[in-house]
């Protein structure tokens, strides 16, 4: 049998010097030290036996064991202190760690004070089309003789009229197509095979004209005959025998009886060429009442402008018209209508009058010079950018470069050569397209100012 001492000596020989050994519990001595079996669960260092004889070694192993325990305690204490220090500084990435305070820096982004031309504008809704629609009415012959001066019932001009045809109205035998264009001398419609042409002018044929008649309507008739190629007369306000001869030639060409006398309703007058918008009557019907609706031949933009923007426009005001496809064309205000009158607004009662006044609008019409840029649009909603005012050669910065000053007013943050900023007070001018006009001491072209990124 191998003794206990021999077993321990074998264990010591098999382990290298400095290895740790876990000893099984043994009885404690009066001084708190264990016997040769070692203390409960304590770590000990197995040292090579003195003198090479493998003996356990009396009190020497006990001293080494106490020194080892003290060393381990010191190492653990140092580790705990180090971990606490790292946690306190946030180096371990804990949730409660805070970022170190950053030093001062310049603005997130910069912009330059630039010299530019600013144009103030207002975007409003508009409608692309052919402008105002008016109705052509059938006209009966004027009564009372050649110079009676009685207007025919119903208006033959481009203006609406509520008259009716004379008794015994003929039958409509021809009508133009919707969308077609009618020019000077072209047929507007035919009655009983006789053509009713278009004359240019602002005076309708409201009476019978014959040799000896005088007036503006005579001049209008002669001017149109002249433009259509008829000759032999002088264009003036007197209807002469030469005028009658020219009229006879014209009547022959239009399928009328050659009388040399012009009756009311023998022609329809308008200021220029017309486009047929809609037919109100068809061949086979009596020639009475509304005949057709027509408009101008060029596309225009109509706007119902809120009364609050009335001071932004005048005849000649320029505008940009944005089509549904994003294309922009140039426009110009050519006509400014009249807003509803106070009497009209109050017609619905005291309460209704106030509401109407709030909704009051100002009708505008804009021409588009380059019609080809409108493409194939016949009628479409558009955006109209009215250019109300222009300031040329002014210093401007982005609007978001402005900083409100305590006590009122604004400033910009000038960026210095070192990257810091300096507040410079400014006076504001026109705002346009995200820029604002600025003036003030120290404001110079090319100066860098801070803006948010």
Residue 116 contacts residue 430 (beta carbons within 8 Å): no
Q: Which residues, including other chains, have CB under 8 Å from residue 168's CB and lie 6 or more apart?
A: none
Q: pLDDT for 341-376, tens place per residue?
A: 654 444 444 444 444 445 688 999 999 999 999 999
Q: What is the pLDDT of residue 167?
A: 52
- Min mean pLDDT across 48-62, 83-97, 361-375 is at 83-97
> Of 185, 209, 207, 216, nearest to 198 (Cα)?
185
How many other CB atoms are found less than 10 A from the CB of residue 367? 17
pLDDT beyond 60 at 103: no
Place of tokens 């070192």: 418
Judged against a pLDDT cut of 70, whether residue 23 lies above it is answered with: no
Helices 216-227 and 241-253, packing angle to 10 deg:
50
CA pair distance 258, 339, nearest whole angstrom: 49
Tokens in use for 260?
A: 């040399």
429: three-class secondary structure by DSSP: strand
Taking 80 as the threshold, does the pLDDT of residue 26 lie above it? no
Q: Name the more confident of 118 and 103.
A: 118
Task: Determine phi and psi for 227, rounding to 5 degrees.
Answer: -65, -25
Is residue 227 over pLDDT 80?
yes
Token pair of 356 as six digits: 């109407």
What is the DSSP secondary structure assignment for residue 310, as one 8-state letter?
Answer: G
35 pLDDT exceeds 50? no
Question: Please, where are the H alpha helices in 296-371?
Answer: 342-346, 350-358
Q: What are the structure tokens assigned to 414, written together?
A: 């000038």
What is the predicted pLDDT for the residue at 417?
A: 85
Pick 156 or 233 by higher pLDDT.
233
Confidence tier at 70 by pLDDT (50, 70, 90)? low
User: Ramachandran region of residue 77, left (φ > 0), alpha (ψ -120 to 50) or beta?
Assistant: alpha
Question: Which pLDDT does position 302 carry in this prediction?
Answer: 95
DSSP state of 70: H
pLDDT value at position 1?
A: 47
Sign of CA dihedral 377, 382, 388, 393: negative
Least confident of 45-49, 68-72, 255-259, 298-302: 45-49
């Amino acid at each position: 049998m191998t003794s206990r001492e021999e077993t321990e000596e074998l264990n010591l020989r098999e382990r290298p010097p400095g290895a740790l050994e876990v000893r099984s519990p043994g009885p404690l001595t009066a001084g708190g030290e264990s016997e040769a079996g070692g203390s409960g669960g304590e770590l000990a260092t197995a040292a090579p036996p003195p003198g090479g004889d493998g003996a356990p070694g009396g009190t020497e192993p006990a001293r080494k064991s106490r020194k080892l325990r003290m060393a381990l305690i010191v190492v653990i204490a140092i580790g705990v202190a180090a971990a606490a220090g790292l946690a306190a500084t946030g180096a371990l990435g804990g949730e409660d760690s805070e970022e170190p305070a950053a030093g001062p820096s310049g603005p997130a982004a910069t912009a330059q004070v630039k010299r530019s031309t600013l144009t103030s504008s207002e975007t409003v809704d508009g409608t692309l089309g052919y402008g105002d629609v008016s109705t052509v009415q059938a006209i009966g012959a004027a009564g009372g003789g050649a110079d009676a001066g009685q207007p025919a019932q119903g208006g033959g001009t481009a203006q609406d009229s509520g008259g009716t045809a004379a008794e015994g109205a003929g039958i409509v035998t021809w009508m133009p197509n919707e969308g077609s264009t009618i020019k000077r001398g072209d047929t507007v419609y035919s009655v009983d095979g006789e053509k009713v042409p278009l004359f240019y002018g602002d005076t309708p044929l409201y009476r019978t004209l014959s040799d000896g008649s005088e007036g503006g309507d005579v001049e209008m008739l002669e001017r149109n005959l002249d433009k259509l190629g008829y000759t032999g007369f002088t264009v003036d306000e007197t209807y002469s025998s030469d005028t009658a001869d020219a009229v006879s030639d014209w009547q022959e060409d239009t399928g009328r009886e050659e009388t040399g006398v012009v009756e009311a309703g023998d022609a329809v007058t308008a200021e220029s060429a017309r486009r047929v918008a809609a037919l109100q009557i068809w061949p086979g019907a009596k020639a009475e009442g509304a005949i057709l609706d027509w408009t101008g031949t060029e596309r225009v933009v109509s706007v119902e402008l809120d009364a609050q923007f009335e001071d932004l426009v005048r005849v000649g005001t320029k505008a940009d018209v944005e089509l549904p496809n994003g294309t922009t064309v140039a426009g110009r205000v050519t006509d400014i209508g009249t807003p509803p009158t106070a009497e009209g607004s109050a017609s619905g009662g005291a309460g209704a009058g106030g509401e109407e006044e709030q909704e009051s609008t100002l009708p505008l019409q804009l021409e588009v010079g380059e019609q080809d840029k409108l493409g194939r649009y016949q009628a479409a909603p558009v955006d109209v950018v009215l250019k109300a005012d222009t300031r040329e050669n002014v210093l401007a910065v982005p609007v978001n470069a402005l900083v409100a000053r305590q006590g009122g007013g604004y400033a910009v943050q000038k960026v210095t050569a070192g990257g810091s900023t300096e507040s410079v007070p400014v006076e504001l001018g026109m705002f346009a397209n995200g820029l604002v006009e600025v003036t003030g001491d120290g404001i110079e072209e090319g100066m860098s100012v801070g803006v948010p990124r």
